[in-house]
Every structure is written in structure tokens, then in C-alpha cells.
Amino acid sequence: METLFCTLTGGPGDEEIYRRAGEIIRAGGLVAFPTETVYGLGGNGLNAASSAKIYAAKGRPSDNPLILHIADIAELAPLVSEIPAAAKRLAEAFWPGPMTLIFSKSSLVPDETTGGLATVAVRMPSHPAAQAFIRAAGVPIAAPSANLSGRPSTTSAAHVREDLDGRIDMILDAGPSDIGLESTIVDLTGSIPVILRPGFIGRERLESILGTVDIDKTVLTKPTEDLRPKAPGMKYRHYAPKAEVTLVEGETAPETILAEAARAAEAGKKTGIICSDETAVLYEAPAARLREEGHSLCVFRAGSRRAPETVARKLFDLLRQLDAEGIETVYSETFAEGELGMAIMNRLRKAAGYRILQAPPAGDNKEEKTMIAIGCDHGGYALKQEILQHLAKRGLETKDLGCFSEASCDYPVYAKAVANAVASGEAEKGILICGTGIGVSITANKVRGIRAAAVSDCFTAEATRLHNDANVLCMGARTLGPGLALKIVDIFLDTPFSGEERHARRIAQIED
Ligand code: TXA
Ligand code: MG
């Protein structure tokens, strides 16, 4: 079969494309289309033969039910036997959007679409192209993710082509998916709502509407004979690149990842490391050295820990990239299980086939708490108190060297005290605050060994650690709100020095 490939521009030319796509669906054919989560492989959800075609095109087991996609809330009632009050509230809050709800099905929905279940999954996507396509078809669209069964879901039309070219009638291209992970699935057929698959809409947001929401146990751990997932699709091997993926957890994960990856590369395997933008500097220079020695070790950045949505958007593309580059073995960092983090880790654990390596705890010297010296003048007093609280919450030890009230005082006294504490090794890093951050930085930089940076934005906070190995952070209480100041503190404390030769050389020149 020849697959028609159509690029949507958002302009008037799209009308004709939607019209043809609608015709294909009504004639029983299959059309891959963009949604805000991932690309879907659509067929007429009320036609058993269309659903059978979807299973065949994907190579998907036919007991794995499909989601019905609608463009208007009025299309829901005919598909379900009942709309619980909780569903109404969730739909009001999150539809159209990346959320799928499970209902008891009506007789209108064929068993082939629901894999023989008495329940049906329904979602109203927010992507304008998905809505226009569903409207043009005039029927609910049954659509799984538009990938071959077992492969990562597709987040671009190029991915869809890679998997399904020649197997379906049409592919609609509207660029890369915005979210990049499939919808959150919520089962409302029991007494307590249950998340069957985590997604962009996290537990907290669901609980803000519904009260207590449970999570299917297999979302967090490996399904077993006794512990079966309630969403049939979650039991299959999923998202799996050809490479053997190992997740590495624990305090010393970067060291373990580097050691294991280097060992695999030296043993002749094409090896990859998946890490965050923040930690990439720990791997990139050693990987380059190994490549110079003729070994194969590539570092793949998944996105920023400070912006999990960037990791979600990139993850499936990255898993496909591993295959494209013929990577055989991969060691991956893990990500914090926040709202979106739970969805990211759920997919990563599956991609790894639940292969998880626990990195050993840090050695004795590392277990000592990091000591931060802090000081300010009267203008920085209030902000210093906030930063102290923040550092305490982070479990860091602090040495507060004053001042201790808002009474007028001279900043050099405190700037020198903090600079001396850092220069003598009593504290690992220092933080200084005055009205603008300038007076304290000028003072601190007079002390040998101190590299004090006046910082008022996140980019500079990161760059001055990576490039200058700055050891004292100076901020202006009058120029920064507390929110931004705390972000800058976190970046300053968490970003390692890059260790690059040119930067190390320049730093050495400072003290010449
Ligand atoms: O974001 C998404 O949900 C994407 C886009 C295309 O909308 N679709 C998607 O579909 O991810 P699919 O088929 O790849 O995943 C659907 C999941 C499967 O794990 C399936 O088992 C589960 O939903 N599911 C479908 N109907 C169900 C039902 N009645 N009860 C429990 N789980 C169901
Ligand atoms: Mg899927």
C-alpha cells in the first residue's frame, strides 16, 4: 500500500487534507495524525474491521484495547453506559487535553475496539489538527500511538514513517509533539479513581479535583503474574530500544555510570550514556577521550532536570536515536519522580526492562555535609534569612557570619569574613548579599583563592560555575526577588566546574 504523506501548515490548504483524511476513515482506512501527546494511528472506532486493521498495522496483540478520540464533549454520551460525576469534573478541568478516562462502554462500541473489555477509554485531544481531523471524519477515532508494537511511541511524523510507511493510508505531519509522552489514563469505574498510566497531568492535579486518587502498582514497579496492570497494554514490553538499557540510581550514580560505560566501551561495545543537561559535563570530556582512543561512547542529553517537560518531549526521540546509531548498551541517569517525573520514570523503567543498578553510597568524606559560609550587609539581611532557611531545607550546613540585623553596617566586614572562610577551606562555597551584589564581590575578590561572581540571572549562575569555578556567589537584594535568588543559589551550588582544560588554564592564570 502506498502511504500518502501530507504536511499541515495551519493554513487554508489544510481543509482539503482533512477532507481526504475523513474520507479514508469513513471508507475503513487508517490515518496517522498528530496530538499534543504523541502521534496516533486512527481508524473508525465504531467499525470492528477498522480496529482489526489497526492491530495488524501495528503488529499489536488484539487484547490490548484502543482509546476512542472525540472532538466534542457531546460525542461522549453515546459511547458509554454512564458518565460518573467524577468524570464530568475531570473532563471540565482537563479536556481537551492529555487525559484519557475509562468508562463502562455502550453497545455502540465494538468489542474489537476495546479488546473484549466491557469498558472503553475515551480522550478529547487539544491539538487543533487532531480536532480538525476527528471532526472531518465525523466518527470517534480509535487510535493507539502510531508506532510498531514494542517500539517507542512516535513524537514526529518522521518516526511514524519509520514504523508504518506502506502499512497505512495516510500520515498527517504537524511537526514534533509538544508533550512527548502519552496521556494520563484514569480509571473511574471503581470506587476510587486510579491512575493506570501516568502522564503530563500528574496525581496532584487530579487530586485537586477529585480528592484521593490511587496509582496502579505496576506504574511504579515491575508487573508480575500476581501483580497485573489494569491497562492491558502496560503489560507488554514497551518503548524498548534494541540496546540493553540499565538505569543507575543512587548518590554516586554519575561515577558508576561513567565506570560501567567506559568498561563496556573498552570491551568493544557501542555504548551510550543518557544524562541531564546539568550533569552532561561529568561525562562529555571522558567520553571524548575514550573516542580518541578508538572506543565508542556517546553521551545523549535528555533535557534539563529543572524543566522535566524538556525530558518528556525528548525521551522517545532519544530512544529511537539509540537504535539509529546502533548503540548496543546504555547506562542512564534517573529523574526525580515529581508530577511529570513519574511519567518519565515509568517509561524509562519499561525501556530498561526494569534493569536497575544501585550505585554505592558516597564514601566517608562525601558524607560530610557541605558547609556554606554566608554574609550580608543591612540591605541583604532579609534575603539572607530566606536563603538560610532554604539551605537548611536542602540539608546543607551553614556558617552565618553576619550581619545579624537590618541596622546600617559596612559590607566589607562581612564580605571579608565569608571570603576568608572559603579561602581557608572552612567552607566549600560562600554566598554574599548587599544592595546590588557589587560591593561584596569587589571585596571578596581581594582575598587570594577567591573567585567571587556577582550574579543576577540563572544563565550566569551556571556559566560562572562551569567556566570560572566561582566559589563565592554575590547577589543584590535590591535587584532580585527571593524566588529568583533561591533559583540562582541552587544552580550555583549544583553546577560542577566543567574541568575543561582551557577553563582550568585561565583560572590558574588568575592567581599568577
Ligand atoms: O496520548 C495517548 O493516549 C495516545 C494518543 C494517540 O492519544 N494514545 C495512546 O494509545 O497512547 P495506546 O493504545 O498506545 O495506549 C493506550 C493504553 C494501553 O495501555 C491500553 O491497554 C489502555 O490504554 N487502555 C485502553 N482501553 C482501556 C480500558 N478499557 N481499560 C484499561 N486500559 C485501557
Ligand atoms: Mg502505545
Ligand 1: which residue has its CA nearest to atom 21? 233
pLDDT recorded at residue 368 = 62
Contacts with 259 (C-beta within 8 Å, 6 or more apart), sequence order: none
Distance (angstroms) between ligand 1 centre and the Cα of 2 equals 27
C-alpha distances (whole Å) from 4 to each of 7, 31, 44, 53 are: 10, 9, 18, 17
Residues 269 and 174 in one domain: no
Nearest ligand to the C-alpha atom of residue 100: 1
* Cβ(183)–Cβ(167) below 8 Å: no
- The residue to mutate among 100, 104, 109, 178, having the most atoms of ligand 1 within 8 angstroms of its beta carbon, is 100
- Asked whether residue 336 is domain-assigned, the answer is yes
Measured by CA distance, the residue closest to atom 12 of ligand 1 is 144
Query: From the CB of residue 290, how many other CB atoms can be counted at a distance below 10 Å?
Result: 17
Asked if 31 and 133 count as a contact pair (C-beta separation under 8 A), the reply is yes
300 and 383 in a single domain? The answer is no
Residue nearest to atom 33 of ligand 1 (CA): 231
Q: Is position 145 within any domain?
A: yes
CA 147 / ligand 2 centre spacing (Å): 7
* CATH number of the domain that residue 332 is part of: 3.40.50.11030
**Domains contained in the chain, number:** 3
Are both 272 and 167 inside the same structural domain? no
Distance 194 CA to ligand 1 centre (A): 14
Nearest CA to ligand 1 atom 7: 40
Which atom number of ligand 1 is nearest to the Cα of residue 60?
Answer: 13
Instruction: Point out the domain boundary residue: 306, 333, 358.
Output: 358
Residue having the nearest C-alpha atom to atom 15 of ligand 1 = 144
* Domain-embedded: residue 349: yes
Residue 239 included in any domain = no
Of 358, 388, 405, the domain-final residue = 358
The answer on 284 and 405 residing in a single domain is no
Q: Which atom of ligand 1 is nearest to the CA of 105?
A: 29
Q: Which of 185, 219, 313 to mutate to test the pocket of ligand 1 (most atoms within 8 A of CB)?
A: 185
- Atom number of ligand 1 nearest to Cα 185: 23
Position 236 scores a pLDDT of 62
Q: Which residues are catalytic?
A: 377, 434, 436, 467, 503
Q: Tell me the pLDDT tens digit for each residue of 423-479.
A: 999 999 999 999 999 999 999 999 999 999 999 999 999 999 999 999 999 999 999
Residues ≥6 apart with Cβ < 8 Å to 97: 36, 124, 125, 126, 201
Mutate to test the pocket of ligand 1, among 36, 51, 67 (most ligand atoms within 8 A of CB): 67
Looking at the structure, tell me whether residues 414 and 385 fall in a common domain. yes
Do 142 and 257 belong together in one domain?
Answer: no
Q: Give the pLDDT of residue 481.
A: 81
272 lies in which domain range? Answer: 244-358
What is the reported pLDDT for 352?
93
Residue 219: predicted pLDDT: 87
**Pick from 324, 358, 392: which residue ends a domain?**
358
Residue 204 Cα to ligand 1 middle (Å): 21
Ligand minimally distant from the alpha carbon of residue 116: 1
Ligand nearest to the CA of 117: 1
Q: Does residue 152 sit within a domain?
A: yes
Q: How far does the centroid of ligand 2 lie from the alpha carbon of residue 234, in Å? A: 9
Domain co-membership, 71 together with 182:
yes
For ligand 1, atom 3, the nearest C-alpha belongs to 183
Q: Give yes or no: residues 223 and 249 share one domain.
A: no
Residue 88: its H or E element: helix 85-94
Closest ligand 1 atom, residue 143 Cα: 6
Using CB atoms within 10 A of its CB, is residue 151 exposed (0-12), middle (13-18) or buried (19+)?
A: buried
- In testing the pocket of ligand 1, which one of 103, 134, 145 has its CB within 8 Å of the most ligand atoms? 145
Q: Is residue 363 included in any domain, yes or no?
A: no
Residues 18 and 85 in one domain: yes
Shared domain for 203 and 288, answered yes or no, is no
Nearest to 125 by CA among 33, 221, 209, 229: 33
Residue 212 lies in a domain: yes
* CATH code of residue 430: 3.40.1400.10
Distance CA 180, CA 122 (A): 19
Residues 251 and 341 in one domain: yes
Nearest ligand to residue 79 Cα: 1
Is the sign of the CA dihedral 9, 10, 16, 21 positive or negative? Answer: positive
Task: Indicate whether 332 and 258 sit together in one domain.
Answer: yes
Q: Grid coordinates standing for 111?
A: 468489542
What CATH number should be reported for the domain holding residue 160?
3.90.870.10
Nearest atom (ligand 1) to Cα of 120: 29
Q: Which atom number of ligand 1 is nearest to the Cα of residue 64?
A: 21
Task: Let me know if residue 286 belongs to a domain.
Answer: yes
Q: For residue range 114-137, list pLDDT tens digits in order.
A: 999 999 999 999 999 999 999 999
CA angle 50, 54, 59 (to 5 degrees): 145
Global pTM reads 0.75
What residue ranges of the chain have pLDDT lower than 70? 234-237, 364-368
pLDDT in tens, 336-374: 998 999 999 999 999 999 999 999 888 755 456 789 999
What residues line ligand 1, using a CB cutoff of 6 Å? 35, 37-38, 40, 64-67, 100, 102, 114, 117, 119-121, 123, 125, 143-145, 182-183, 185, 196, 230-234
Q: Cα(295)–Cα(209) distance, rounded to whole angstroms?
A: 53
Nearest CA to ligand 1 atom 6: 40
